[in-house]
Amino acid sequence: DHKFWNTQPVLQHGEDVTEEGPIDPAVPRDQVQQEPYPLPKEFEWCEVDIQDDKQIIELYQLLTMNYVEDDDAQFRFDYSAPFLKWALQPPGWRKSWHVGVRVSSNKKLVAFISGIPAAVRSHKTLHHLTEINYLCVHKKLRSKRLAPVLIKEITRRSHLEGVFQAAYTGGIVLPTPIATCRYYHRSLNPKKLVECNFSRVPRNSTISAMVKKFKVAEQPSTPGLREMKPEDATQVRELLNKYLSKFDVAPVFETDDDVRHWLAPTPEVVWSYVVEDTKTHKITDFFSFYTLPSSVIGNDKHKSLNAAYMFYYAIDIPEKEAADSYDTARYTKQRLTELMRDALVLAKQADFDVFNALNLMDNSMFIDDLKFGPGDGYLNYYLYNWKCRDIKPHKVGLVML
């Protein structure tokens, strides 16, 4: 059982949802605990100022050495410093939500948790909630119940800002996921993936057969495909919000600034493309992926695996196809498959070794045709202080970094 999670406003194991809504009520600001939660005496709280080069490097180093690994501890996420700056400073970000723990004696950064503001809809309710990410405790300080203190402290800081719901994801199962998605992987550099033990040569195959199988075209094939520009934000916002409205949990991009931040290309971080109709110059399609390498643990030949992760995308469903749900599904599958085939080409050109995606949104429509294979990792989705009915992977429209 869960000594900490049992005490929290989350759906407890086996409880079923009759009506959606908050578990605990909102509290006025002056009734929120004003003092930080106490830490064991050798530690102190800090705000990590990620605009300060020295501090972003400290955060980068903490995460690079101590953040999420796969089940067999072969790979560890290696979010870059520019990526962390992007992920933690969207419009409306707050420095007080970049919470660190330092050793009092030498000021070494040994733990972290972050929140960012986001607009997320679950079923019919729009939440202005906190997205929690990058919870990390140094390997030498594990199992000392520091994580619950970090979680309570970010909760308190969220309450101080009048925010009483949160969204988060994780590889582990806690009380209680609203959805569970699976990771899928598309090899782009099969030889390196095998050398890293990321994938294996099947008994009935050879490396050269795999190299052939995973070859992609030299150039994308969709007419009108180009990099997204910041000026496309208004059209992309409209296209994307419309597409995301069919999912049971999804973000709402409320301003063009949100779209420019999250979805305009950022070098080495996020890659975004649109299809501009050659006649009307209207944007009909959009897709994006982000860069997240993993350190390869204990490999003599390779230090890093360069992975691209599918991010948001949207297609415009023409009226004649939208009239009939069968035609909508057929159109969506065809259009998306061709679009994502181009995404693979662009990722290969940019020298990614593997293209990863979850089986959420409409991804299942192209996963098999484009030779993605199932990984051994799963991603659970959670809402804090909100009762919410189960959501199937293909009804999840939220992608967290």
Angle between helix 256-263 and helix 233-244 axes, rounded to 10 deg: 90
- Supply the DSSP string of 44-83, one letter for each residue: EEEE--TTSHHHHHHHHHHHHHHS-B-TTSSEEE---HHH
Three-state DSSP class for 96? Answer: helix
Radius of gyration, CA atoms only, the chain: 22
Q: How far is Cα 134 from Cα 101, in angstroms, rounded to an integer?
A: 13
**Within positions 113 to 132, which residues make up the interface with ligand NHW, using CB under 6 A?**
130, 132
Reported residue count of the chain is: 401
User: By the 8 A CB rule, do 288 and 270 touch?
Assistant: yes
- Please pick, from the candidates 122, 158, 266, 332, the single residue that binds ligand NHW as defined by CB under 6 A: 158
- Shortest approach of ligand NHW to residue 75 CB, angstroms? 13
Q: Is 401 a catalytic residue?
A: yes
- Rounded to whole angstroms, the Cα distance separating 108 from 186 reads 39
**From residue 48, how far is each of 51, 94, 176 by CA, in Å?**
9, 11, 30
Burial (0-12, 13-18, 19+ Cβ within 10 Å), 51: exposed
* Binding status of residue 71 toward ligand EN5 by CB under 6 A: yes
Task: Looking at residues 60 to 89 of the shown chain, list those that interact with ligand NHW (rule: CB under 6 A).
Answer: 66-68
- Using CB under 6 A as the binding rule, whether residue 45 contacts ligand NHW is answered as no
- Contact window for ligand NHW (CB under 6 A) among 34-42, 144-152, 194-202, 282-290: 144-152
Query: Which residues sit opposite 112 in a β-bridge?
Result: 100, 136
158 half-sphere exposure, CB direction, 13 A CA radius: 25
Q: Using CB under 6 A as the criterion, what x/- string covers residues 110-149 for binding ligand EN5?
A: -----------------------x----------------
Which helix or strand (DSSP H or E) is residue 118 part of?
A: strand 109-122
Q: Does 183 bind ligand EN5 (CB under 6 A)?
A: yes
CA–CA gap between residue 201 and residue 329 (Å, rounded) = 34
Which residue number, 158 or 294, has a Cβ lying nearer to ligand EN5? Answer: 294
Q: Which is nearer to ligand EN5, 39 or 147 (CB)?
A: 147
Of 49-57, 104-112, 253-261, 370-378, the segment contacting ligand EN5 by CB under 6 A is: 370-378
Give whichever of 159 and 185 is closer to ligand EN5, judged by the CB atom: 185
Choose the catalytic residue: 84, 336, 358, 401. Answer: 401
Residue 187 contact partner, candidates ligand EN5, ligand NHW, none, CB within 5 to 8 A by sort of partner: ligand EN5
Stretch that binds ligand EN5, among 37-45, 65-73, 153-161, 285-293 (CB under 6 A): 65-73
Residue 191 interacts with ligand EN5 (CB under 6 A)?
no
Interface ranges with ligand NHW (CB under 6 A): 2-5, 66-68, 130, 132-137, 142-148, 151, 154-155, 158, 163-166, 168-170, 172, 174, 384-385
Residues taking part in catalysis = 401
Interface ranges with ligand EN5 (CB under 6 A): 68, 70-72, 74-75, 133, 169-171, 183, 185, 187, 198-199, 373, 375-377, 379, 400-401
